[in-house]
Each structure stands twice: as structure tokens, then as C-alpha cells.
Amino acid sequence: MQLSVRLRPVIFILVLLIAWELAVRMHSGLLVPGPFAVAAAIVELLYHGLLLKYVVASLFRVTWGFVLACITAIPLGLALGWYRRGELAFNPLSQIFRPISPLAWIPIAILWFGVGDLSAIFLIFVGSFFPLLLTAMSAVHNIPAVYVNAGRNFGLNSSAFVVRVLYPAVMPQLLVGMRITLGIAWLVVVAAEMIAVNSGLGFLIVDARNAGNRYDLVVAGMVVIGVIGLLLDLGMRSLEQMKSFQWRSSEE
């Protein structure tokens, strides 16, 4: 029973792969590659050392953009959430900036930073900043008053209060927000690499199409993007599962 439940998604994927291969064989002449061609393309990329290079390039940009957004947006969001007046002042601005797709910033990114890593990092930063800011603000609003009062009761000064009450109290909600935002960052990096840089998985996809309609490489790039996105999500989820972070689910 247990094993069959676990095998179910694997079987489903196998069925889809077979259907894909059959569909491609029945309509030969289309540019869309079958699963074997894609697997061969991945091996080809590995063989030339491009896969590792591009994956590292993409992850490098995502890491920088995301980390920079975390260390600016989270403290700012926590402060704004705590001091309601600050939030009221800042709110209209963030409401205007938030709905602008990070991709709309591409021309400005290139204008400011040129074609290169900095542009991509900037775009990821912009795409991650507002979701993280809003998460941090709402996490502060959701702290139960009991924790705040208990912290005050034991005579904590402000810095001790931040470290020992505020930070652990917002952590579970913050981690969920960070996981979702990392997903956004991974979406943005692929788009940014299609325009603003000459390496990375997004560049691979555009380059493979431009340089002779290598759709096997295009789909190979997509598969790699999907797998890495999944791994990033799993990594963040395992952080959420850590005992001292997971209290929220069991407490409510």
C-alpha cells in the first residue's frame, strides 16, 4: 500500500513520457523533440561542461539578488510592521511598486547596469523585495499580543526583545514567504537571462533557439530549470520543518 502510493507519481510521469514519445513519433517532421532527444541533449550539455556552468551562473544571480532582498526587505518590513505610522507612510508607495512586474524593469536594469550579472541580480532583487517586505509586515501584525506582553513583563530591552521574541515569533511565517519568494526569484532569473546576460539557463534556451532551432536543447534547459526549482523549494521546506521553526502549525 505504502509503496504503491509512493510509486503513483513515478508511474504517472512514466506514462506521460511514453505518451510524449509516441506523439512525437506519429508526427515526425515537427521541431518538438521527444524525451530521448532531450535526455541526449542534457548529456551533450554535461559533456561540454555547459550545464554546470549555466546552472552555477543562474544560481549565483539568484543567490545574490535574493539574499540582498532578504537583508534589506525583511528588517525594513519588520520595522514598518512594528511602527504602524511608518507603515501608513510607506504603504502607498509599496502598493504602486508591487504590481509592476520585475520584467518591466529590464530596460532600466540594462540602462543602469549594462548587460551582465549586475542587471540580472538587480531584477531578482526587485522581484523579491516587495513580496518579502509585505510578508515581514504581516508577520509582525500576526504576533500574538501574549508574546509581546510576556516579553515586556520579563524586562527585556529592545534589542533582547527583537532577538528573543520578535524574531522567533515571525520566523515561521517569514520562512513561508521566503520560500514563495525564492520561487519568484527563480522565475525572474530565467527571464532576465534571456535578455540581460550571455550565460545561464535562460540564455541557454534563447541561444539554442537562435543558433539553429535546437529545440532539444531548449526543452533540456526547461527540464533543468524545473528540477532545480523543485530542489530549491524542497530545501526551503526542509528549513520550515525544523523543530524550533514549525511551532505555528502545531499551536493553532
Partner 1 sequence: MSAAPGVTTTPNNGYKLRAEQLGVVYARNGNAVAALEDINLDIKDGEFICIVGPSGCGKSTLLNAMGGFLPPTSGSVTIDGEAVRGPDRRRILVFQERGVFPWLTVEGNIGFGLSKLPRAERKERIAHYVQMVRLQGFEQSYPSDLSGGMRQRLQVARALAVNPDILFLDEPFGALDSITRVMMRAELLRIWLTERRTIVFVTHDIDEAVQLADRVVVLSSRPAKIQEILTIDIPHPRNISSPRYLTLRDELLKQIGLAYEI
Q: Which residues bind partner 1 (CB under 8 A)?
A: 144, 146-147, 149-150, 152-155, 160, 164-165, 168-169, 171, 243-245, 247-248, 250-251
Residue 152 C-beta: closest distance to partner 1, Å: 5
Residue 247 C-beta: closest distance to partner 1, Å: 4
Nearer to partner 1, 26 or 252 (CB): 252
% helix, strand, coil for the chain, step of 5: 85, 0, 15
Residue 238 C-beta: closest distance to partner 1, Å: 18
- CA 170-182-204 angle, to 5 degrees, is 175
Would you say 21 and 27 are in contact if contact means Cβ atoms under 8 Å apart?
A: no
Q: Which of 73, 68, 93 is nearest to 137 (CA)?
A: 73
Local structure of 157: helix, strand or coil = coil
Residue 66 C-beta: closest distance to partner 1, Å: 24
Nearer to partner 1, 198 or 249 (CB): 249
| Ramachandran angles phi, psi of 30, nearest 5° | -75, 160
Residue 239 C-beta: closest distance to partner 1, Å: 14
Nearer to partner 1, 36 or 147 (CB): 147
String of b and e for 218-245 (b: at least 16 CB within 10 Å)? bbbbeebbeebeeebeeebeeebeeeee
- What is the distance between the alpha carbons of residues 202 and 188, in angstroms, rounded to a whole number? 10
Nearer to partner 1, 38 or 165 (CB): 165
Nearer to partner 1, 36 or 247 (CB): 247
